[in-house]
Amino acid sequence: MIPTETTNPPATPNTAPTRPAAQTVSSRYSLIFGVALTAVTVIALILAFFSSNFRPRASDALPASWTQAYNADLSGSDTGSWDETQGCSMTGLGLDADPGDDNDAQCAFTPSVREDVTANGFYFVTQLAPAAKVQEFARSVVSVGDISAFDSGDGAAIHFIVGQDGAYILCDGDCSQATSAIYLSGGLASWHGDPHVANTIAVKVSPDHSALTVYVNDQEVATVATQFGPQPGIALGSLAGDEAIYTHATLYIGR
């Protein structure tokens, strides 16, 4: 038998393990991507925080030539300026649109229906009572145009509906997403969600009645094309099962 000769393998130098080149490159790009993603996120948050400052403001929208035609604290006595026959009443808290569960409430501003006050365009602003003062879910409706019926033809009347959670719908016709010619919805960044803080809604109709712009708490929400008649009506209200209390209203008109 031939003995098998065994030898010890050569000693391996005691060196630190090296990281593969591909892994090093991957880690470098992961770090760069992470830093870039963080920067983009921070920028997005900053833009979201300050974006409302760049929106058109209601305070800048009123033409200097327009004059104030109405200005009233609605928590006082009834002056005959608001129709109280369709679920509305003047109370110590304000004009209360409380329709119950079966019908919507609509409080028409009677000068806009019976007099020639909105023919040359107008800017109307109203303040809502804080949600904490409303017994039902606080949901307001500001309507402009042919307000004889809530579901009047497309474009004849436009309704801005907003709940105490800041979710809104701007619509015409029967306010159906499937059939309305105008239907915008979303959440309001400018809305005061605190139930003890009041909110303000304003609408502006151009002198030629071709556009309506909605503002909430001095910030523009949307502008839509309109098909109003020669004397657009104004109404405040609420939907069945909900309630809204309006504490103040002001109207500016063109000449």
**Is 72 in a helix, a strand, or coil?**
strand
- Selection from 14-23, 88-97, 142-151 with the highest mean pLDDT: 88-97
Mean pLDDT over 228-241 rounds to 94
Percent residues over pLDDT 90 in the chain: 63
Provide the pairing of β-strand 67-73 with 242-253. Answer: antiparallel
More confident residue, 11 or 129: 129
User: Residues 72-117: pLDDT tens digits?
Assistant: 999 977 778 999 999 999 999 999 999 989 899 999 999 999 888 9
DSSP code string of 136-201: SEEEEEEEEE-TTSTTPSTTTEEEEEEETTSEEEEEETT--TTT-S-EEEEE-TT---STTS-EEE
User: Structure pTM?
Assistant: 0.77
At residue 30 the predicted structure's pLDDT band, cuts being 50, 70 and 90, is low
Q: How far apart are CA 106 and CA 57, in angstroms?
A: 27
The pLDDT score that the predictor gives to residue 192 is 97
More confident residue, 98 or 3: 98
Mean pLDDT over 223-251 rounds to 95
Type of residue at 168 = Y
